[in-house]
Amino acid sequence: MESGLTWVDNLVIIIYLAGIIFLGLWQGRRQKNTEDFLLAGRSMKWWPIAISMFAAFFSSISYVAIPGEAYNYGTTMFIAMFFLALPLPVALMVFLKLFYKLKLWTAYEYLEKRFSVKIRILGSSIFLVTKCVYLGVALYATALMLEPALGWSMAFSISLVGVAGLIYAAFGGLKGVIWTDVAQFVVLVGGVLAIIVFIWLKLPNGAADIWNTTVETRHGFNIGWNSGFWDWDFSQRITVWAWLIAAIPHCISPATDQVNLQLCLSCKDLKTVFKASIWQTLGGWPVVFLFYIAGLGLLAYVRILGQGTPIAELGKGDKVYTYFVTHIMPVGLRGLIVAGLLAAVMSTIVSVLNSLATVTLKDIYQRALVLNKPEAHYLLVSKILTLCWGFLAVGLGIGIAVICNKFDVPLLEISNTCLGIFSGLLLGIFSLGLLNFKANSTSAVIGFIGALIITFYFAIFHFLLKAPGERMSFLWFAVLAPFSVFIIGSIAGLFARSTGSRKLVVWGNKLIKQSMLDDSPVEDI
């Protein structure tokens, strides 16, 4: 498809990229050690952290997939945000508070304290695989838009965006990441608002047309008794039960996801962590809903004004969205919205790359390979690791593009399936350590292997190889993986000899309970 961008749009994109890279490098210019590079000196305030948390998890996947979801299916998926916010008080007051007081570098240090160094390395390895795949999906989502926008091939688009993010990820450090996230958040929100306002002004009856189209096509919150939303049907795409059950392991995930935890550890105190986490959750709702509105507006535009034009023949919502942005939006605004896409993906790239470098350095390189070197050595290695992970993610992005095209799996579904499996496996291991006294390193490994076999079986034979209407809902993988690890590991723990520290089990532990009630530190066990 021929590029729809003009020289004005390209100029907007170039100015944006140059400004972001400069800001990231400027903020990271005073790095003296790995704590400055990887944790921003543990001195950040709550509001940039809240924005950075949101930006890190929003990504280009959401920038393209959420309007596409609204266009294809409606806004029902938005309800998930409320379900996943239910465990927030427990996540903050128990698990995140515990991990912050332990003064960790990575979440996987806990696994060594609770189980053994082997489980720490296993947990770190799962995280590295999960987030590298996540980066690949994010880069692919970006290429979906850049390919029609700029006329470049999928592989070239993925490579360009990945390398651009690497420049200030490798040299700006976490402080540079956080402050560029703030700037990119403004561009991201400005881009989606521009789409909504433009559609509103173009439609004959403005917002009324969007509302009427949403009602006529049943693209609103489709949660009636006959909608399938309340059914115990694993092939039903969205059900309330999948979200309710998925909310249980979500109590632990904010403390065990290294990307989120690393931002929390960069805060100057625990009060700052709480404030940032709450605002990131509640403040994210209206921002995300803007993207659903953009998708609904796009549906109304195509049905009312787009019939008989190329946009009506594209079918999938993500393709319609990218065509609309790059061929129908006014000159100049096209560049702004593409810059918003770049903002989303670069926020994700740099946050995740920083975490990948931290985990590789602290859990593998510095823990098991090269010990007792000066700080300058580890600082240099951190930057090299960032570069290596970035290039690997670019390669995965190209591979994921091939998979999505071959199996005709929607972007939102393939990303949630991959993340649900790998993140779920990791959550299961942490759940064993935090909640089960009898679990030890052997039972954790048995639980992981058993769950890996189960989830891969369902992912291959009940998802990838099934027709779209017969597939197991992708939401269930985030439930299946952690519960499989926990149940299998708990059963194995009944027959295994206890090893590791039981003092770091939350349930029934007086030391942990006292720490949750006041500001007393958790002793280094």
Q: What is the pLDDT of residues 171-211, one digit of tens each?
A: 777 888 888 888 888 888 888 899 999 999 999 898 899 89
Query: Which pLDDT tens digit goes with each residue over 264-290?
Result: 888 888 888 888 888 888 888 899 899
The whole-number pLDDT of residue 290 equals 92
Residue 461 tokens read as: 């034979």
Q: Specify the DSSP element, H or E, that contains 466.
A: none
Mean pLDDT of 296-315: 83
Q: Specify the DSSP element, H or E, that contains 249.
A: none
Q: Please determine, for residue 341, whether its predicted confidence score (pLDDT) is greater than 50.
A: yes
The whole-number pLDDT of residue 65 equals 79
Residue 151 tokens read as: 């006329």
Higher-pLDDT residue of 134 and 286 is 286
267 forms beta bridges with: 44
The whole-number pLDDT of residue 28 equals 67
Query: Which pLDDT tens digit goes with each residue over 428-471?
Result: 898 888 888 888 889 999 999 999 999 888 888 877 777 666 77
Report yes or no: 178 and 49 within 8 Å, Cβ to Cβ.
yes
Contacts of 101 (CB under 8 A, 6+ apart): 270, 515, 521, 522
Contacts of 338 (CB under 8 A, 6+ apart): 5, 9, 13, 145, 146, 149, 325, 326
What is the spatial distance between Cα 193 and Cα 211, in angstroms, rounded to a whole number?
Answer: 17
What is the spatial distance between Cα 407 and Cα 459, in angstroms, rounded to a whole number?
Answer: 13
Contacts of 69 (CB under 8 A, 6+ apart): 77, 292, 295, 317, 412
The whole-number pLDDT of residue 246 equals 72
What is the spatial distance between Cα 111 and Cα 116, in angstroms, rounded to a whole number?
Answer: 7
Question: In terms of Cα–Cα distance, which of 51, 117, 50 is closest to 366?
Answer: 117
Question: In terms of Cα–Cα distance, which of 135, 118, 146, 176 is closest to 5?
Answer: 146
Q: Please determine, for residue 488, whether its predicted confidence score (pLDDT) is greater than 90.
A: yes
SS3 267: strand
**pLDDT grade for 405, boundaries at 50, 70 and 90:** low
What is the spatial distance between Cα 37 and Cα 24, in angstroms, rounded to a whole number?
Answer: 12
Please report where in the chains the tokens 């006014």 appear, as a residue. Answer: 330
**pLDDT grade for 148, boundaries at 50, 70 and 90:** low
Start-end of H helices in 217-312 = 240-246, 253-256, 258-265, 270-305
Please give the CATH topology (third level) of the domain spanning 7-29+38-517.
Sodium/glucose cotransporter (1.20.1730)
**pLDDT grade for 525, boundaries at 50, 70 and 90:** very low
What is the spatial distance between Cα 103 and Cα 345, in angstroms, rounded to a whole number?
Answer: 30
Mean pLDDT of 121-129: 89
pTM: 0.79
Q: Please determine, for residue 514, whether its predicted confidence score (pLDDT) is greater than 60.
A: no
Residue 153 tokens read as: 């091939």
Q: Please determine, for residue 511, whether its predicted confidence score (pLDDT) is greater than 60.
A: no
Count of Cβ atoms closer than 10 Å to residue 26 Cβ: 14
Mean pLDDT of the chain: 80
The whole-number pLDDT of residue 312 equals 76
Higher-pLDDT residue of 55 and 144 is 55
SS3 44: strand
3-state helix vs strand vs coil in the chain, percent to 5: 80, 0, 20
Q: Characterize 293-306 residue by residue with b for buried, 16 or more Cβ atoms within 10 angstroms of its Cβ, and e for exposed.
A: bbbbbbbbbbebbb
Helices (H) and strands (E) counted in the chain, each on its own, are 21, 0
Cα dihedral 444, 447, 449, 455 in deg (nearest 10)? -140
